[in-house]
Chains A and B, each alone.
Chain A
Amino acid sequence: MRWRNCFLLAVSYLFYFTWSLWAAAALAGATLLAFFAGKWAEETKPRAKITTLAAVMILIAYLFCFKIIAILPNNDLAGLAMPLGVSYYTFRLISYVLDLHWGKIKPEQRLTAFAAYVAFFPQIVAGPIQRAGDFLEQVPPPRAAALQGVPRIAWGFAKKMFVADQLAPAVNCVFAHVRGFHGPALMVGFYLYPLQLYVDFSALTDIAVGTGRLFGIQGPENFDRPFTASNIAAYWRRWHMSLTSWLTDYLFTPLRIATREAGRVGLAFSITINMIAIGIWHGLSWGYFVFGVVHAFYLNVDALTAKKRKSFFKAHHSLDSIGNWLGWLVTFHLVAAALVFFRARRVSDAIFLLSHLLSSLSDFGFELEQLVSTTGAHAFAVGITGYALLELAERFRPDQRWMYVKAVSPRWVRWSVNSAVATLVFIGILMLINEGGSKHPFLYAIY
């Protein structure tokens, strides 16, 4: 059984070595630090708090160093480019040390299993951020059911190629020349970027979770139909869930506990710090910072009005469905507005885009045609249709329905459906080969 952990570790480090030797050494160093900090904290109980605090501070400093190097002008430390997935694995290590300190888990005795957890290659590029306890109880992984990951991987690639990459040209064009466009084109960027980012990132999560399954590991989910949320707090429970639940557990809740006597002020303070942390976790830039501040504002308003809204709708039951629709509409627009800061090259570009969204709307058809003819009408149509199909598929989950139907269907029905799906996948692969592969890198593989 032990060799399976060694195998996981070897495959993961091999993957990492191909990217950079020194970064692999840094990964190993950080892993050893957390592993032994956990052991020391356990063995020297009275000083456990100091050991834990020191380990967490070192890991945060380690992450910040790379984030700062990444924004240095004329990067003299170019050789020290951001190690692949450093934001993800540092968070995994911090959660391990804190979970030990809070008595949620016991110190891991198997260094191989622990190192495999930190470096697990399907999750190192862009998460999801799995907790140590959840991963380690699954290793050594069972041999069975590995192939269950394949459909999930295929689904991820399909989403990436047929939806995200088709939306990308128009979105990229708008954000590259924000000041060269008027309302109609800016609206394309405003409305389509959230969809592109969601499909792109969730596709990467599908591939990560599916690949994890191939190795017998069930990873956490990152998305739960985020754009169906009817308020901002619900949106954050459905978007990049492994990151938001991490920050809730290790930043927001401890802050909230520390400030619990301060009532509403403590809540507002904890929300604000938490959302700014979510922003700058992506990188030390003004755009990410403003993204965090904007969401902090949304969430504060949401939290402070939650009780009032609830009692209003309790007293006016007939308005429930209108409230839900309106909530959904407002939430999507708030999310899209904040994402403009996340995506734009400069904060001033973001402000320009948002303040000119409704300009020159009378030229709607003309400007839209101009944008789409530059970036590809075919891609635009495929992307939007693909997104609509994706939402429908996530709403009605034909795959799950098929599992029920399959169990009671005669053989010829099962075979017909299986052959049809296999043919579609085959055609998809042919189209992919024909297109020469994806031209757009995954958006979330840079953190």
Chain B
Amino acid sequence: MESLSTAQIVNRLTGIFREVLDEDSLVLRDDLTADQVESWDSLNHIDLIVAVERNFKIRFTTAEITSLKNVGELVNLVQRKLVTVV
């Protein structure tokens, strides 16, 4: 498994978020939450998670998904998962 820097992960996540949420100019920040993005709601939240899983070839547990609070935590989770995959 490739090792990715935080910046590379954020970069790839930005692409995924922009595509799934259909928001071409969305900029990810650590403290960004679904409440702050109009098109990011509970109906497409899991689509977003699935897209992240497929892109990074990782798998999250229910507990991991439900306890995510913001984009920063997602970045950390992806990073942890990539390390364990290696």
Contacts and interface: CB of A to CB of B under 8 A. Distances in A.
Contacts, number: 46
Contacts of B39: 310
B49 A260 contact: yes
B41 A237 contact: yes
Contact of B63 (A103, A252, A303): A103
Greatest chain B CB density within 10 A among A248, A256, A306 is at A256
B45 A103 contact: no
Interface string A292-311: 00000001000100110011
Nearest to B46: A256
Contact of A267 (B22, B43, B49, B66): B43
Contact of A254 (B41, B44, B62): B62
A307 B66 contact: no
A53 to B, nearest CB: 13
B74 to A, nearest CB: 15
B67 interface: yes
6 contacts: A102-B63, A103-B67, A233-B43, A253-B45, A257-B49, A271-B43
A386 B46 CA distance: 42
Contacts of A316: none
A249 interface: yes
B65 interface: yes
B42 interface: yes
A310 B22 CA distance: 9
Contact of A311 (B22, B41, B42, B45): B22
A104 interface: yes
Interface string B40-69: 011111110110000000000011011100
A67 interface: no
Greatest chain B CB density within 10 A among A102, A267, A271, A299 is at A102
A92 interface: no
Contacts of B63: 101-103
Given A103-B67, A104-B67, A310-B22, A257 B43 contact: no
A260 B46 contact: yes
